[in-house]
Amino acid sequence: MSMKPLSYNPSDVFVPSKVTGELAKFFIDDLAEPATREAEVIREILKKRAQRNEQITRTTAWATFSEVAASRED
């Protein structure tokens, strides 16, 4: 598969070191608002992670149980 070029330099700063004008207004307005939507996203991630960890714990517990059961049968 051919490699697609992507012409940007990762070392370049992509938000200017000092923001002014319209960009400063964007951030000032944004900072004045509570991060309600962002907090919801984080809550959803925490919920998914907790569910996944529970699933992994259950799978591990079942594998351990199966191993112990098999060794007793031996």
Partner 1 sequence: MRTFNDFDWEVLDRRKHDVQDFSSGFSVFDEHIRIDAILQQSNGLSQTRVFTNGKHILAYYTAKCTKLQIDDTEQSGIGSKEKTVPAIEIPMLAVDQRLHRQGIGEELLQEILYQSVTISQLVGCRYLFLRAIKLEWLIRWYKDFGFKEIPFEVIDEFTQPMSFKLPTVQELSEEEFESLF
Residue ranges in contact with partner 1 by CB under 8 A: 1, 3-20, 22-28, 30-32, 34-43, 45-46, 48-50, 56, 59
Least distance from partner 1 to the Cβ atom of residue 60, Å: 10
Least distance from partner 1 to the Cβ atom of residue 17, Å: 6
Q: How far apart (Å, rounded) are the C-alpha atoms in residues 35 and 30? A: 9
Q: How far apart (Å, rounded) are the C-alpha atoms in residues 53 and 47? A: 10
Least distance from partner 1 to the Cβ atom of residue 41, Å: 4
Q: How far apart (Å, rounded) are the C-alpha atoms in residues 74 and 63? A: 17
14 vs 72 by CB, closer to partner 1: 14
Encoding tokens for residue 68? Answer: 């112990």
